[in-house]
Structure 1
Amino acid sequence: MASNDPDREEEAAAAGEDEDTGAQIAPIVTLSEVAVTTGEEEEDALLDLKAKLYRFDKDGSQWKERGTGSVKLLKHRETGKVRLVMRQAKTLKICANHLVVRSIKIQEHAGNDKSCVWHASDFADGELKDEMFGIRFGSVENCKKFMEMVEDIAESSGKNEEKESNDAAEAAGLLHKLSVDESKTEEKASEKAPTASAVKAEEKSEAVTKAEEPSKN
């Protein structure tokens, strides 16, 4: 006999819904974990700030937006060299990629204390190009922090390059000195050592002298 109690019917329906049937549903697509390399694995971030990057178009004589994202100053753990890298926020496409060298001169953009400009040999497009960049930050503090760090790195890079050139000059001078000393040593040795002709002449002279000596008998 069927029950007319609606509460019992709802409880029975709920129990049926919660009952574990033991069925297992396998996923339609299985995704495997893929390791993504960025090229930044051997570098440490000295600075990471959000900004908007611009590139000066020489043909059109105007600034063009390059991308909005994070600009980083990355120091290589082995070489100690620092490069500037910026990627677009959504696509992660590289819009700036160049070394921070002593020739870089960064300055505040006229009329905007949140922006600054600089020239660089950039490799973002897969080949070196002489570019003029402009970058705008969300605050004056971030812009100053960026400028000061770039200037410090450029100055430090200049000192390291000068030291490397001095070391190379000293090494070249040392090698030259060693080669000169070796040549002098060879010259002195040749002066002291008798030549083969001199030895033969001396042997011949001794033989003649012995032949001319009177017999003691």
Structure 2
Amino acid sequence: MASTDPERREDEDAPAGDDEDTGAQVAPIVKLEEVAVTTGEEDEDAILDLKAKLYRFDKDGNQWKERGAGTVKFLKHKNNGKVRLVMRQSKTLKICANHLVISSMTVQEHAGNEKSCVWHAADFADGELKNELFCIRFPSIENCKTFKETFQEIAESQQKKDENKDASAAAGLLEKLSVEEKKGEEDKAGDTPAKTKEEDEPKGEAEKKSDAEKKNDE
């Protein structure tokens, strides 16, 4: 006979001990230690951080090949002020682009696509420098425009930095030449009395010789 008691019926239908907390303490079999993970970006500040998909041009196959989808960043070093572009794949965090942004670089729209742009770079993502032609595609036109403007601003700032560096080097060279020239003039002036003295000594010898010859003639 079926039970008409709701509480009893619920007790009968509920699985036995599924969610029951016994209060027992189970020690872990393996104890995991916390490991510090470094990304190599600790000494850099992020200027820009955007989601995108990256491609590289394969010269042998004459086609574009996908490098990965993830986050592209511009990172500025806290000490030397150099800026590099770094992009990692979203799932594996594998680096698919890693190069400095220098003054000679230019970025431009790719084949009339307002969401994509291209540029050349000496890339180090594979552990060795390779000249690559990159294409990056963003989900929106706004993100692509922001990327291009930031890229160009960084390249221009690096150009000014290089010009200031060259000017400082030229000024230092001129100062060095001026010091050396001044030192040369001082050395030349210091040699003059010694030279005069040397010239006087043969003259004295010649006078003595003349006196001796006069005595012999007498």
Question: What TM-score bracket applies, with the shorter chain setting the length?
Answer: 0.7 to 0.9
Cα offset, 1:192, TM superposition: 3.0
Asked if residue 181 in structure 1 is aligned to residue 182 in structure 2, the reply is: yes
- 1:215: which partner in 2? none
Q: How does 1:153-164 map to 2 (within 5 A)?
A: 153-164=154-165
Identity of aligned pairs, percent? 58
Cα offset, 1:35, TM superposition: 0.5
C-alpha distance in structure 1 between counterparts of 2:166 and 2:22, whole Å: 79
C-alpha distance in structure 1 between counterparts of 2:183 and 2:202, whole Å: 30
Q: How does 1:24-103 map to 2 (within 5 A)?
A: 24-103=25-104
Cα 1:166–1:138 shift into 2, 3 Å: same
- 1:210: which partner in 2? none
Q: How does 1:114-133 map to 2 (within 5 A)?
A: 114-133=115-134
Cα 1:34–1:64 shift into 2, 3 Å: same
C-alpha distance in structure 2 between counterparts of 1:33 and 1:84, whole Å: 30
C-alpha distance in structure 1 between counterparts of 2:195 and 2:136, whole Å: 77
Q: TM-score when scaled to structure 1?
A: 0.81
**What's the secondary structure of 2:32's corresponding residue?**
coil
Asked if residue 192 in structure 1 is aligned to residue 196 in structure 2, the reply is: no
Cα offset, 1:128, TM superposition: 0.7
- Structure 2 unmatched ranges of 5 or more: 1-6, 209-218
C-alpha distance in structure 1 between counterparts of 2:58 and 2:106, whole Å: 19
- Structure 1 unmatched ranges of 5 or more: 1-5, 208-217
Q: TM-score when scaled to structure 2?
A: 0.81
CA deviation string 1:28-64 (max 9, x = no partner): 1111111111110000000000000000001111000
Cα offset, 1:197, TM superposition: 4.4
**What's the secondary structure of 1:38's corresponding residue?**
coil
Equivalent AA in structure 2 for residue 189 of structure 1: G
C-alpha distance in structure 1 between counterparts of 2:69 and 2:190, whole Å: 73
C-alpha distance in structure 2 between counterparts of 1:85 and 1:19, whole Å: 51
CA deviation string 1:135-169 (max 9, x = no partner): 00010000000000000100110111111011111
Cα offset, 1:202, TM superposition: 9.2
Total equivalences in the alignment = 194
C-alpha distance in structure 2 between counterparts of 1:133 and 1:104, whole Å: 12
